[in-house]
Structure 1
């Protein structure tokens, strides 16, 4: 202990025992310590669920200090509405969401509150299930109204305080929308769970299709976005732009698309090029208002549309399936299966089958559509942050506008106060590289699903540990879309990695959101660190008919891009070949 105290760091000490006396031979620093997951409140159980599923990567300092503060305010309001005066008993003193080693966790005080949780759950079952689709639509309209109101304001003319107010207002609306859909999403999940349980227990015979067949083929916003890209590809095929799109790198294509040029960048009629610009921009306007991750430091599809161009190329090259045809095939299979079952069963099973099936089909699309809209305000929020960052750069506080995300809330407020009082801005530029390096170190960690790790709750939701068999590593998770495929893996942590994805590869990620959907057209299978049968990755994988394994613990850390893996969506395993 004295050696460790002297060097002020953990030490590896070598010693000897001779003639009844101890002697220290050598001491050197321990440089490869396992990460510490220090709990802010030891009476609270912290889990990587809820909003954490939409922030799979470590969050930036500004999101950790400003974004989570706003999210916690909205969450506390929701808990007050649902639970009432007893809500503080369940929440940690510093709010529901906390960043631990950069990763977002939600904390609930379960000890001594089992009765309260059971009472609340039972009392809210009927309110949650009643009118869920209408309540989601109302929440969306309320959120959209806030975004639209702030989009009308001239961002360049707003004061720094007004910009921060706009960011708080729009992101606050996004967080309240998220809390609103927390009361509607259970319906979408439970309806499919109950239908599946009823069908598999009381109706399904050995030769009958799986329950998922009956709920595939829905018209979701993700499918609409895919159809829009397919339409663009088919339009390109009718004119001379097809070859140009296929052979031009994304960087050049995007540069040309983003400039209002009077001449075509190639020997083609300018009208044709302008029509391509118009059509692509129309797609971005309609489907680019979403987010890859809820941390507002991440670019949006509208800002980084490279994956959309890759999806268009896949359609042109015949490497991706026609989404119209895929949907029609799913609908035909669904309707045939439904007719077959209804012909075979009678009352009362027939009535329950139809009722539960219609409930699942009516509410299922809401799950994907509502999550897609979570990022509706992110493009506007990022424009306001960009304007603030530009002014901070002009004042010498940081070196580039996007470094604003590596500041903390108090520092942003300090810079705003200095700008508005006409005082010199403090220089925070030196803090940015340090924080980026710390973020990179967090990125290498595998965050536990729950903290503390050694609890009964953790064993219920945590994936099994990887095992070795015949010299190969086998990851165990939850098989959520059947089939077996062996193919090279592509590990993706965010949009900055998307261009590396090649057709036929296995998509490996912490989790995915609707903004990732264009990548599924190229994937041969999907593997994620977290998630379950009703997560976005599972639903879309089933729509595409590709194997999927969710909750494969540490998949993004064990698997390397290019490594050959075998994904068994039936058994819920991922087998890694030697690198």
Structure 2
């Protein structure tokens, strides 16, 4: 974008909420607001909407995921590894949506950070396998503890055994402790989330920079191809469904009557084995309490399974093209390597080797944190919500998410207080009306789409994580300011190679995946890893947001699907039924008819 550009996005202070959403700010912690007394500083910064991870309006409790995630991301950049060019990412909630603003490092401070980074990050790179094994032990400890927590109604009487043993404590104390511990475990999981993640990106960016200098004109996709062909646990849920489908076909298991009608004990045992842990898989990003988890909604994986069975019986190969992707990776790598002199080949091998060593974590952590840990976390909070719903505090378990997390200890104490003194709690009189009011506010906020960005953008966007993960480039920002691409098409990141033409299917929610027809092109704000089973039916993917290293881009490359990410406006510029052409090599989407 030219430095002469004077256009800017609206200020958050001038972007008013719908009238029906007045007072929305009180639904979220004070530190997430654009405050009037900080206006000058806030308006001097560029903010963009993170609809890649958090595409919808937050229920009050659900901000816990963005708060913990972005806080922990920052600490590893800024305080643990001292990454030379990047501190953390600041964030705010505006009109219910989250906005990000990377915190840069002054250029003069970068050289002094390099030795610290090399020492700290270097230790992790040199001891990656052992440290990663320790990470698995730590995160499994979090998962096991999340499994062990249970919320049950307080008993009418303290057990006699507590009296005769001289315990001297009431069960409400444990109830309170378990809620506090639940929050601590979520916080711990996000600490572990970023222990390795940014180092994976740093290693790739180092290899990326080397290739750009060594091979002038090399495409971003050409570099990405050299680290593709990964086998990670994130793909296991889909692989388990494929294995179950093959088994169902070989054993002639009839799935038409639904799961309850299956009588094959061997197949049912395999289904049960796959469920734990692989069905702890969210249909969304896992970052919202409302995301449906396979284990709690078995109709989702069962529906995918039946589709796979139908494809197998029609003679279709449902396997991911791992061999072809690996062969393409090796071909591209060898051809570029051969262009280098011998001494440079050694450097190339070292940087590529490190990228391939650490890169699987970039996807692998998703299953253990966003899916397995968070699905357990939301389940436990929902159990607590049910206990308080049964006590009359609100109508249903889900209503607990309409409270900020700092309000829940008040409700818990109120519940225990009424129990202890034998009197009515205040909660049943306070919360039902307040929750209804908040639901109306959220409905009003949801009716207004978020601004893609706010304030004046920098002349040139150079922050590597912003470009790689979000696809926020100077060109993309320029298109937002000018109202989008031309009527003839869209442009974005060339995220996964290949070309396809077909009918568009715009999907804004995971619940709409069942409407996809074979051969259609999926158009969405972003895709989730659990959407893998539909990738065997579609011809290509187009997303609003996401860079070369976004989850959508990586997963599409591993499934061999053409993809253009980071278009900015695909879901509003394209309608279901429209014929489009996707070029994953050039990053363009053409509106054919």
Which TM bucket (shorter chain)?
Answer: 0.7 to 0.9
Deviations 1:424-469 (A, max 9, x none): 2234233444434443444454434543244435663744245575
User: What's 1:106 paired with?
Assistant: 100
Give the match's secondary structure for 2:297.
coil
Q: Would the aligned equivalents of 1:46 and 1:451 in 2 still touch at CA under 8 Å?
A: yes
Deviation at 1:102, TM superposition (A): 1.6
Q: Unpaired segments of 5 or more residues in structure 1?
A: 1-9, 11-28, 85-89, 257-264
User: What's 1:278 paired with?
Assistant: 269
* Counterparts of 2:323 and 2:388, CA distance in 1: 53
Q: TM-score, normalised by structure 1?
A: 0.76
Write out aligned runs for 1:529-544 (5 A): 529-544=544-559
Q: Unpaired segments of 5 or more residues in structure 2?
A: 1-14, 26-31, 154-170, 419-423, 462-472
User: What's 1:131 paired with?
Assistant: 124
User: What's 2:166 paired with?
Assistant: none
Structure with bigger RCO (C-alpha 8 Å, 6+ apart): 2
Give the match's secondary structure for 2:295.
coil
1:81 aligns with 2:84: no
* Counterparts of 1:489 and 1:357, CA distance in 2: 37
Deviation at 1:211, TM superposition (A): 4.1
User: What's 1:234 paired with?
Assistant: 246
Give the match's secondary structure for 1:156.
coil
1:482 aligns with 2:509: no
Q: Would the aligned equivalents of 1:386 and 1:401 in 2 still touch at CA under 8 Å?
A: yes
C-alpha spacing 1:408/1:356, structure 2 compared with 1 (3 Å) = closer
Q: Would the aligned equivalents of 1:129 and 1:184 in 2 still touch at CA under 8 Å?
A: no
C-alpha spacing 1:565/1:163, structure 2 compared with 1 (3 Å) = farther
Q: Among residues 401, 424, 431, which one is paired with 2:397 in the alignment?
A: 401
Write out aligned runs for 1:425-464 (5 A): 425=427, 426-456=429-459, 460=474, 462-463=476-477, 464=479
User: What's 1:259 paired with?
Assistant: none
Write out aligned runs for 1:317-396 (5 A): 317-318=310-311, 322=317, 326-336=321-331, 338=333, 347-375=342-370, 376-396=372-392
Deviation at 1:568, TM superposition (A): 2.2
User: What's 2:61 paired with?
Assistant: 62
Q: Would the aligned equivalents of 1:188 and 1:367 in 2 still touch at CA under 8 Å?
A: no
Write out aligned runs for 1:157-556 (5 A): 159=172, 160-190=175-205, 192-194=207-209, 196-197=211-212, 200-201=215-216, 210-241=222-253, 244-245=254-255, 247=256, 253=258, 256=260, 265=261, 270=263, 272=264, 274-291=265-282, 292-293=284-285, 294-318=287-311, 322=317, 326-336=321-331, 338=333, 347-375=342-370, 376-422=372-418, 423-424=424-425, 425=427, 426-456=429-459, 460=474, 462-463=476-477, 464-465=479-480, 472-556=487-571
Write out aligned runs for 1:145-160 (5 A): 145-156=141-152, 159=172, 160=175
User: What's 1:97 paired with?
Assistant: 91
C-alpha spacing 1:276/1:477, structure 2 compared with 1 (3 Å) = same
Q: TM-score, normalised by structure 2?
A: 0.74
C-alpha spacing 1:53/1:364, structure 2 compared with 1 (3 Å) = same
* Counterparts of 1:395 and 1:542, CA distance in 2: 50
Q: Would the aligned equivalents of 2:247 and 2:267 in 1 still touch at CA under 8 Å?
A: no
Give the match's secondary structure for 1:396.
coil
Give the match's secondary structure for 1:418.
helix
C-alpha spacing 1:490/1:307, structure 2 compared with 1 (3 Å) = farther
Please, which moves more after superposition, 297-306 or 97-106? 297-306
Q: Would the aligned equivalents of 1:476 and 1:552 in 2 still touch at CA under 8 Å?
A: yes
* Counterparts of 2:328 and 2:289, CA distance in 1: 41
Deviations 1:90-143 (A, max 9, x none): 88xxx9433222222334555x95544675477425633553444454334323
Deviation at 1:58, TM superposition (A): 2.2
C-alpha spacing 1:503/1:173, structure 2 compared with 1 (3 Å) = farther
* Counterparts of 1:446 and 1:455, CA distance in 2: 23
The two structures, once aligned, show a CA RMSD in angstroms of 4.0
Give the match's secondary structure for 1:487.
strand
Q: Would the aligned equivalents of 1:489 and 1:508 in 2 still touch at CA under 8 Å?
A: yes
C-alpha spacing 1:227/1:75, structure 2 compared with 1 (3 Å) = closer
* Counterparts of 1:412 and 1:547, CA distance in 2: 45
Deviation at 1:181, TM superposition (A): 3.2
Q: Would the aligned equivalents of 1:300 and 1:378 in 2 still touch at CA under 8 Å?
A: no
1:39 aligns with 2:34: yes
Instruction: Give the number of aligned pairs.
Output: 513
Deviation at 1:323, TM superposition (A): 6.1
Please, which moves more after superposition, 357-366 or 187-196? 187-196
C-alpha spacing 1:570/1:445, structure 2 compared with 1 (3 Å) = farther
Q: Would the aligned equivalents of 1:527 and 1:548 in 2 still touch at CA under 8 Å?
A: yes
